[in-house]
Chains A and B, each alone.
Chain A
Amino acid sequence: MRIQDFNTKEENTWCPGCSNFGLLQTAKNALVELVNEKKIKTKNIAIASGIGCHAKIFDYINVNGFYGLHGRVLPLCLGMKVSNPELTVIGFGGDGDTYAEGVSHFIHNCRYNADFTMLVHNNQVFALTTGQATPTSEKGFVGASTPLGVKEPPLNPITLALVSGATFVARGYALDFQHLKGLIKKAILHKGFAFIDILQPCITFHNLAPYFKKHIYKLDKNHNSGDLQKALLKAKEWNYSLEDKAKIPIGIFYKTKRTTFENQWSQFKKPWHTLKRKISWEKIIKEFK
């Protein structure tokens, strides 16, 4: 398996220099390595995307996929997973997509713990709609819809995921390919709901790359990712505002084991479409007589 095997013929329409290019390449690399390591099968990979710049990724990876609606990546992933537990389901969402329009699905999917991965391209701005504030835009952000600046503090998705019961919570940086690739591979192999908030600077509407370069640091072995309280403390280290003294940890905040959504039921656990049903009409209507 080579990375070219995941290429499509579609013209890439991200802005030249967009950090999504790196994210795309990194995701493909992670998939190639997992396939070559025989940990996943190409034919079972199924992606879903929302709507926004991030979602164009659907057209650029040649795997099974569902290009869904804005905010609805997570229900799609859940549905795909329950229809066929053999699938390796990976959702791609945006920050507006996941933390604004679809935030209820985000909270509940953290809780459900179905075995799939959610990668959020967090550029802290609505980009495809030309630059409005999202829930993770910093206080004071000036956009076309907020010329007076955003008045509210941002939402911290890492904290939200932790308190909502996610079993794998990480933050990555789209421009640190090697580190991100490692995170994506671990997330895909995690048995349960794996979430990575990927800082993905938008060079056109909200270029935070210079800020991130100064403030990002990697979580190392000193961080105990099995401890929820420690994870919460780490999550609170950065509140998505652009303060001068901020330290932004990237890496795995928290990882734990919990029975997956699909393992909780005793019904058919294979792809439902392979089930040949024998329907007993008499049995179905018996109780009404």
Chain B
Amino acid sequence: MAMEKVILIGGKAGQGTAVTSYFIGKVFCELGYYVFNYRDYPSLIRGGHNFNVLRISDKPVYSHKDKYDIIVALDQKTIDLHQKNLNKNGFILGDDDLKSKKLVSVDVDLTLKKLKAPRIIENDIFIGWLFKYFGIDKKLLLREAEKKFKTKKINLIKKAIEKGYTLGKIKEKLKRIGKSKYFISGNQAVGVGALSSGIDIYIAYPMTPATAVLHFLAKKQLDNNILVLQLENEIGVANAALGASFGGAKTMVGTSGGGFALMTEALSLSGISELPLVVYLAQRTAPATGVPTYTGQGDLKFVVNAGHGEFPRIVVAPGDPKEAIMRTKEAFYLSTKYHLLSIIISDKHLGESDYAFDKLERSSVSNERFILKKPSKDYKSYKITKDGVSPRAVPGQGPVVRATSYEHNEYGNTIEDAYWTVKMTDKRFKKLKYLKDEIKKLNPTILYGKGKNLIIGWGSTKGAIIDALPQLKDFRFLQISYISPFPKEIVKREIEKSKKVILVENNVTGLLGDIIAEQTGYIIKNKVLKYDARPFVSEFIVNKIKRKP
């Protein structure tokens, strides 16, 4: 019998639901369980209602559920909002002043008084209580607490956990079931990918849900000898990044839709100046400010087309953190080698959810800088070559190096004549052929499961779709990771092989469907779409697909 627990932890912002949930997840990862941790929070700092959903299983899981076995309620609102989704045998853990028929209460006030502890320590009492309930060894729990909570309050936290442990009753006997797992979010994975690619400079302006990458890399900058800058706005960020790239630094920027919109003039500049640039876009619910701390996949066609004019680009959409590490390194590699814009597109759901993996891997692509060791005196920045890639020199090496927003000749000087305009445009587009060959080697799509029928999706929907597959008869899932250049031969072939084709996207119109139509000529009419700012859960997908003709 498979073990699976779904725990919701809810409370006001500032009550520590995220930290508590992450910690519980981390302990289960240590014991070898697979965990998915979903964060749901509004755009405010104190108050409101935050909750996390932890799904813990002895089998791999890549998404959360909306039915819960246990609710840890830090306030009454958590009960009022979520009690209806409690499973039949489920219960609510909380303070004894909360009201619910399902409440298993702890006298928090008295316990805190005895501990001489502030209210925030309440979470640790519940943690102790829960792990006792699961029958998990107290020593291991306390050891994990020491690892995780590196604060002055650690002794108090440990005491509170122990106290909670004594108050609880053993119900189950969960044991270590295997090697401990890696527990990582999509944003952390993009940071890991950047570090593993040999990033030199990361520049950003804070914007949810991409900010975590800025924080992650900023914290690690001294240890890893990289530079992390927050500048005045996204226009400054993107242009400074191109200046840095011109100077020879491996540079990345990160933002969400609104900031990305401001960067678009610079994306166009990277196109004509042929300077490598990696952009991380974590989508949130748009248009405009939209639903800022929630998820969506509404920016796909924007990203594919962002920037005025025509120029080749790389757009890659990882579906989980493990893949995000790989794809980020690929994005750096392709951008650096072909002097192109690489965009990594993710979203709030992938960026801020924690996933568990047996192991993490980095792509085997090269970290080379692709900069000439000793450029010759007659160096030309935009030399016409067979593959369209001009050997790269950087300022300071000796010869004159130029980059420009104007159409130009091989030296990078401005031209306006028809001959060079065509010549340089062709040069830039020549790269596409080589780029397509490269991408073929990088698994631009991934196929899951077996069946006559096909689900197509991209990005963060991957988790819920994979988790839905076992409940769907005769369905396989094609995840499309490279959106540009688009792997049209594979997609076309898979569509042609299938009886039913269903598109699953977290947006209103099915943007990938449009791209598929444009690239393959196939119009997918069967769509499962969701645009309520919330991510998919597998049950939703199963129910929708079962009802499809």
Bound CA span A273–B403, Å: 17
Asked if B406 lies at the interface with its beta carbon under 8 angstroms from chain A, I say yes
- List chain B residues, Cβ under 8 A from A185: none
Whether B240 and A75, one on each chain, are in contact in the complex, defined by CB atoms closer than 8 angstroms, is yes
- List chain A residues, Cβ under 8 A from B245: 79, 83
Asked if B366 lies at the interface with its beta carbon under 8 angstroms from chain A, I say no
Asked if B439 lies at the interface with its beta carbon under 8 angstroms from chain A, I say no
Q: Which residues in chain B, 179-211, are within 8 Å of chain A measured between CB atoms?
A: 180-184, 188, 192, 195-196, 198, 200-201, 203
Partner of A79, one of B196, B243, B404, B406: B243
Asked if B449 lies at the interface with its beta carbon under 8 angstroms from chain A, I say no
- Given the known inter-chain contacts A67-B404, A68-B405, A79-B246, please indicate yes or no for A268 contacting B225, CB distance below 8 A: yes
- Given the known inter-chain contacts A67-B414, A75-B235, A273-B248, please indicate yes or no for A84 contacting B405, CB distance below 8 A: no
Bound CA span A105–B227, Å: 20
Whether B240 and A76, one on each chain, are in contact in the complex, defined by CB atoms closer than 8 angstroms, is yes
Asked if A148 lies at the interface with its beta carbon under 8 angstroms from chain B, I say no
Interface string of A64-80 (1 = CB under 8 A from B): 11111100101111111
Whether B371 and A273, one on each chain, are in contact in the complex, defined by CB atoms closer than 8 angstroms, is yes
Asked if B178 lies at the interface with its beta carbon under 8 angstroms from chain A, I say no
Partner of A58, one of B182, B236, B251, B404: B404
- List chain B residues, Cβ under 8 A from A78: 231, 236, 240, 243
Interface residue tally for chain A (C-beta within 8 Å): 51
- List chain A residues, Cβ under 8 A from B249: 82-84, 272-273
Whether A43 and B233, one on each chain, are in contact in the complex, defined by CB atoms closer than 8 angstroms, is no
Whether A84 and B414, one on each chain, are in contact in the complex, defined by CB atoms closer than 8 angstroms, is no
Asked if B76 lies at the interface with its beta carbon under 8 angstroms from chain A, I say no
Q: What distance in Å separates the Cβ of B468 from its nearest Cβ neighbour in chain A?
A: 26
Bound CA span A265–B201, Å: 13
Asked if A29 lies at the interface with its beta carbon under 8 angstroms from chain B, I say no
Partner of B400, one of A64, A69, A268, A284: A64
Interface string of A264-289 (1 = CB under 8 A from B): 01111001110101010100110011
Asked if B57 lies at the interface with its beta carbon under 8 angstroms from chain A, I say no
Bound CA span A44–B403, Å: 15
- List chain B residues, Cβ under 8 A from A64: 395-396, 400-402
- List chain A residues, Cβ under 8 A from B236: 72, 74-75, 78, 104-105, 108
Bound CA span A277–B250, Å: 12
Closest B-chain residue to A71, C-beta based? B235
Asked if A244 lies at the interface with its beta carbon under 8 angstroms from chain B, I say no
Asked if A119 lies at the interface with its beta carbon under 8 angstroms from chain B, I say no
Whether B247 and A83, one on each chain, are in contact in the complex, defined by CB atoms closer than 8 angstroms, is yes
Whether A82 and B227, one on each chain, are in contact in the complex, defined by CB atoms closer than 8 angstroms, is yes
Asked if A170 lies at the interface with its beta carbon under 8 angstroms from chain B, I say no
- List chain B residues, Cβ under 8 A from A62: 400
- Given the known inter-chain contacts A87-B395, A275-B225, A279-B198, please indicate yes or no for A284 contacting B192, CB distance below 8 A: yes
Interface string of B395-429 (1 = CB under 8 A from A): 11110111111100000111000000000000000
Whether A79 and B242, one on each chain, are in contact in the complex, defined by CB atoms closer than 8 angstroms, is yes
Interface string of B86-108 (1 = CB under 8 A from A): 00000000000000000000000
Q: Which residues in chain A, 231-289, are within 8 Å of chain B measured between CB atoms?
A: 265-268, 271-273, 275, 277, 279, 281, 284-285, 288-289
Bound CA span A159–B82, Å: 58
Q: What distance in Å separates the Cβ of B507 from its nearest Cβ neighbour in chain A?
A: 30
- List chain B residues, Cβ under 8 A from A48: 243
- List chain B residues, Cβ under 8 A from A268: 200, 225, 227
Partner of B269, one of A69, A81, A87, A267: A69
Whether B196 and A86, one on each chain, are in contact in the complex, defined by CB atoms closer than 8 angstroms, is no
Asked if A33 lies at the interface with its beta carbon under 8 angstroms from chain B, I say no
- Given the known inter-chain contacts A10-B414, A277-B198, A288-B360, please indicate yes or no for A65 contacting B402, CB distance below 8 A: yes
Bound CA span A275–B476, Å: 46
Whether A68 and B239, one on each chain, are in contact in the complex, defined by CB atoms closer than 8 angstroms, is yes
Bound CA span A87–B395, Å: 8
Bound CA span A72–B238, Å: 10
Asked if A46 lies at the interface with its beta carbon under 8 angstroms from chain B, I say yes
- List chain B residues, Cβ under 8 A from A59: 413-414
Bound CA span A69–B239, Å: 9
Bound CA span A104–B243, Å: 17
Partner of B226, one of A8, A267, A273: A267
Asked if B281 lies at the interface with its beta carbon under 8 angstroms from chain A, I say no
Asked if A203 lies at the interface with its beta carbon under 8 angstroms from chain B, I say no
Partner of B405, one of A10, A51, A284: A51
Bound CA span A56–B405, Å: 12
Partner of A77, one of B188, B235, B243: B243
Interface, chain B (partner A; CB < 8 A): 180-184, 188, 192, 195-196, 198, 200-201, 203, 221-222, 225-227, 229, 231-233, 235-251, 265-266, 269, 273, 360, 362, 367, 369, 371, 394-398, 400-406, 412-414
Given contacts A268-B225, A284-B196, 6 further A-B pairs with CB under 8 A are: A63-B400, A64-B401, A78-B236, A79-B244, A79-B251, A271-B247
Closest 6 pairs between A and B when the two form their complex, measured CB to CB: A79-B243, A83-B247, A273-B248, A75-B239, A64-B395, A79-B240
Interface, chain A (partner B; CB < 8 A): 8, 10, 43-44, 46, 48, 51, 56, 58-59, 62-69, 72, 74-84, 86-87, 104-105, 107-108, 265-268, 271-273, 275, 277, 279, 281, 284-285, 288-289
5 A–B pairs (Cβ distance < 8 Å), ordered by A: A8-B413, A64-B395, A75-B239, A80-B244, A108-B232
